[in-house]
Amino acid sequence: MKCLLIASESAEVLFYWTDPEFQQNIQQQYGSSQEEGQGLPAFEDSISTLFAPIIISCSTMVDRLGDSYTSFTTENNHIYVLHQFDECLYIAVNGDGEEGEDALRRKIYVMKKMIEVRFGMVTLSSNLLRRELRPQDTEQRARLWKHLQGLLETYSHLRENDQSFLVEAVERLIHPTLCEQCIEFLERRLVQQLNSSAERAGEEVLHAFILVHTKLLAFYSSRNASSLATSDLLALIIMAQNMYPSNVDQDDPGPEDVESTSGSGPESFYTPEPSPTDRDSSSSDNLERVSSPMFEFMDPDVQMAEDSLQALEVPPPDPSTPRRVFLEISGKDGLYPMMPHSLYCLPLWPGITLVLLTKIPTSAVALSVYKFLEAFAKLEKCLNGGQEGSAAARGQLAIHDIRSKLDKFIKALGPSELQSAQLLNVWTEFKNQAFARGGTGFNKDLIPWCKNMKTQLCGIYRQCFLIDSGPGDFPQRLSPRLQERAQTMAQEKLMDWKDFLLVKSKRNITMVSYLEDFPGLIHFICVDRSTGQMIAPSLSTTERTTSELGKGPVAQFIKNKVWSLVSTTRNFLRKGYSTVTLRDGDFYFCYFLWFENEMGYKLEAGDIPLLPDDSAPIGMLAWDYYSRKLLRYYSKNHQGEVVRCYELLTVHLGVIPTEIILQHCRQLASKLWEPSRNPLL
């Protein structure tokens, strides 16, 4: 019983995702309320009708009370979480007890992050985003929604099963020699060759990395690239996983697997919804489940409607076409969010992927558009604030600054295009209003023009980076031949390691190696928040693979404990508690968060910002709490010093004396990040 819905203020559904149970529930309700009717409307219509009162009430509350709903909980523990980003209202629902309010809110923020990565600055204009999320063309809409639904499902699966997505930090494969070799390979051979090739069509490889399932084997950034934010890297891993889902069933080469390769065990393995790029379109999966005998209200008409939606699936695009992604870069003069890149995911073998991120030739346009947008946003804020004095003057100054630049920018775009002609018109009108004698000058009347300018700029951005070039044109990309070569090179390099890597990714580090030094320790997770990386022993809970925790239920129990511990400690962290120990049943849990400077010297614990209940979730994927909030807050007292932030979670047997447990924690904390032990970079 899960659902995620994005709606505009006028209660138009911009996107939805539901699991089969929720869909069935909705259709049953609709059926019972419309028994006399002419059959059921399309699912999209019923969901829109049922949620409309909530959406409308939401905007009424915002308009008249200046407050908005954040969540509902019902007697039977259905949870609804609501969050409004600009004019888009996100609603996430859970009715099966698997997700709490925090998890739902996190899901909403992750969805927003994925939309930002997909649409970039177009998200800054609600008007454009609405059209982008809900294309008029039903075929296009079906394809887009399918893609986004796939991303959401992949994320949910990873969050529930992958420790690195639990704590939202990247996990590396711990194999120093191989790691080093691969980095060298990426740097000296792969990236160099690609960037010196004539077939790169003006693109430049900035980052190249190799993923084994969700774990990072090697990561290389070219010299003139800015560093890739953890948030973006995690989002890219989700995208790669969505394109080439690692099917645990097939590629687990554990020794026990040999006799059961048929894979028809009692356990059901997750297979994410195939993304549009997948050739086999088994996308009628949802439909099949819906038409199970349990569903009595099934009507042939619905079947038709749903079928027609499914049938609109177009042949998948050329796999060598890169995905446009919008990522943050840190330039000389600050951070620039949502700058266009091209993403190439080249599958080496099932489970192992080479990922290339390139800079596209026109990316300078995005930088300019962002600067202009920022100036207009600043001006609007000043004018809105009602201060027509010094603050307004500052906003005015920003416009004066960009005036000539914007003139040049428009000229360079060339007035032939409809979009740039519109921009020119609006800009001319803006200048008349703002600077000419007969105009309004810098006051509140200028606000609509600011808004209009922003929309026009987003439109330009959309045109440059989101619209595919016409069918006749060659798409902007590294040539397929070049991509193929990169793929082959990487395959050659890793051929001998392939099987090892697939096993290693399942058992990156294991508790066995710690048992002797840390008797009574059951599990731990250590995270370096400054680099966004984590280390944890593998937690395998499938029936067939035996870990140190035992098989099936026991391992599953401990896994559940670890998952709930993480959400508990986040709750305490949100309220300002950075040390937590809990005695829970037969276990003793510890959580520590601390700061060090660059030399590894422990810094004194300081105040931690208190967050409201409905703030963005603590983590690094959707919003980097640690660098954007915690470290900024903490660094105020440590000016000019590089502050690093670490977290350690441990699970011990409850019978171990607390003193010993704390000694273990201390040893783990100092040992794990020793450079000699884990050369992480």
Name the site residues for other proteins (rule: CB under 8 A).
29, 50-51, 53-54, 57-58, 60-61, 64-65, 67-78, 80, 93, 95, 564, 568, 571-572, 575-585, 590, 592-595, 602-608, 612-614, 648, 658-659, 662-663, 665-666, 668-669
Q: 375 vs 669, which CB is nearer to other proteins?
A: 669
Three-class SS of residue 511?
coil
Residue placing its CB nearer to other proteins in the complex, 76 or 390: 76
Residue with tokens 């019983």: 1
Contacts of 202 (CB under 8 A, 6+ apart): 360, 361, 476
Residue 114 Cβ, how far from other proteins at the closest point, in Å?
A: 24
Q: How far is the CB of 71 from other proteins (least distance, A)?
A: 5
If 0-12 CB within 10 Å is exposed, 13-18 middle and 19+ buried, where does residue 292 land?
A: exposed
Give min distance, CB of 17 to other proteins, in A: 16
Shortest separation between residue 160's beta carbon and other proteins, angstroms: 20
Give whichever of 5 and 555 is closer to other proteins, judged by the CB atom: 5
- Strands, sheet with 79-85, edge to edge from the N-terminal-most edge strand: 13-18, 2-7, 88-94, 79-85
Of 76 and 196, nearer to other proteins (C-beta) is 76
Give me the least distance between CB of 638 and other proteins, in Å please. 13
Beta strand pairing call for 579-584 and 204-212: unpaired
By C-beta, is 50 or 397 nearer to other proteins? 50
Compute the least distance from the CB of residue 29 to other proteins, in Å.
7
For residue 111, the Cα-to-chain-centroid distance in whole angstroms is 7
Cβ 46 to other proteins, closest distance in Å? Answer: 11
In which element (H, E) is residue 209 found? strand 204-212
CA 230 – CA 313 distance, rounded (Å): 34
- Indicate the residue among 51 and 219 with the shorter CB distance to other proteins: 51
H/E segment holding residue 589 = strand 587-597
The region that residue 520 occupies, defined by phi over 0 for left and psi between -120 and 50 for alpha, beta otherwise, is left
Closest distance of CB 30 from other proteins, Å: 11
In SS3 terms, 80-123 reads as EEEEEECCEEEEEEECCCCCCHHHHHHHHHHHHHHHHHHHHHHH
Q: Which is nearer to other proteins, 366 or 526 (CB)?
A: 526
User: Token pair of 550, please?
Assistant: 């035992």
**Closer residue to other proteins (CB): 516 or 659:** 659
Task: Report the residue number, 179 or 573, with the smaller CB distance to other proteins.
Answer: 573
Cβ atoms 178, 498 nearer than 8 A: no
Q: Cβ 61 to other proteins, closest distance in Å?
A: 6
Whether 454 contacts 378, CB under 8 Å: no
CB of 353 to other proteins, least distance (A): 37
Residue 42's φ and ψ, nearest 5 degrees, are -60, 150
Q: What ranges in 466-551 are assigned the alpha helix state H?
A: 480-494, 498-506, 512-515
Which residue, 135 or 606, has its beta carbon nearer to other proteins? 606
Q: 246-251: list long-range contacts, CB under 8 Å, 24+ apart.
A: 246/213, 246/214, 246/350, 246/351, 247/271, 247/350, 248/542, 250/350, 251/350, 251/351, 251/502
Structure tokens at 351: 């489970």
Report the alpha-carbon distance of residue 168 to residue 156 in Å, rounded: 13
The distance of closest approach from Cβ of residue 190 to other proteins in the complex, given in angstroms and rounded to an integer, is 40
Closer to other proteins at the Cβ: 128 or 573? 573
Element (H, E) at 240: helix 230-243
CA-based nearest residue to 508, from 161, 102, 244, 215: 215
* Nearer to other proteins (CB atom), residue 350 or residue 606: 606
- Please work out, in degrees rounded to the nearest 5, the angle formed at the alpha carbon of residue 114 by the alpha carbons of 112 and 118: 115
Minimum CB distance to other proteins, residue 106 (Å) = 16
* Smallest gap from residue 72 Cβ to other proteins (A): 5
Report the 10 Å Cβ neighbour count for 262: 7
Q: Which is nearer to other proteins, 50 or 503 (CB)?
A: 50
Question: Cβ closer to other proteins: 270 or 572?
Answer: 572
Geometric angle at alpha carbon 675, from 674 and 679, rounded to 5°: 125
- C-beta of 612: minimal distance to other proteins in Å? 6
**CB neighbours of residue 132 within 10 Å:** 19
